[in-house]
Amino acid sequence: MGVIRETWESFFNDVMKPCGVPKDCPQYIEMRKAFYAGAGSTFKLIVEGLIETDSQDEEAGTRLLDGLKEEFDAYKDELKASLNRPRIPEEN
């Protein structure tokens, strides 16, 4: 299993599965597509960022990666919180 797939499975198990999202529903399918698109975009950002900052500059590369991790962690926390909020029941 590849690292992106492992990360997707971890994300699903941590964020979506506890909320009862099954793997065969449209939300799962669309979220997985978005996740992989984001992984591809992030890879591109890292590669281009390292080229722009001179790949020999370790500190700049570390700052770039630390900033991305911080942003990912903040979004994951935000998403978890939004999925765990009680839903307002629909009126009949």
Question: To 5 degrees, how large is the angle CA 62–CA 64–CA 70?
Answer: 100
d(CA 3, CA 8): 9
- Tell me what pLDDT residue 32 has: 93
Q: What is the mean pLDDT of residues 52-70?
A: 79
Q: Which helix (H) or strand (E) holds 55?
A: none
Question: What pLDDT is stored for residue 89 in this prediction?
Answer: 57
Instruction: Give Cα separations from 4 to 34, 53, 89 (angstroms).
Output: 13, 25, 36
- For residue 35, name the pLDDT band (cuts at 50, 70, 90): very high
Whether 74 has a pLDDT exceeding 80, the answer reads: yes
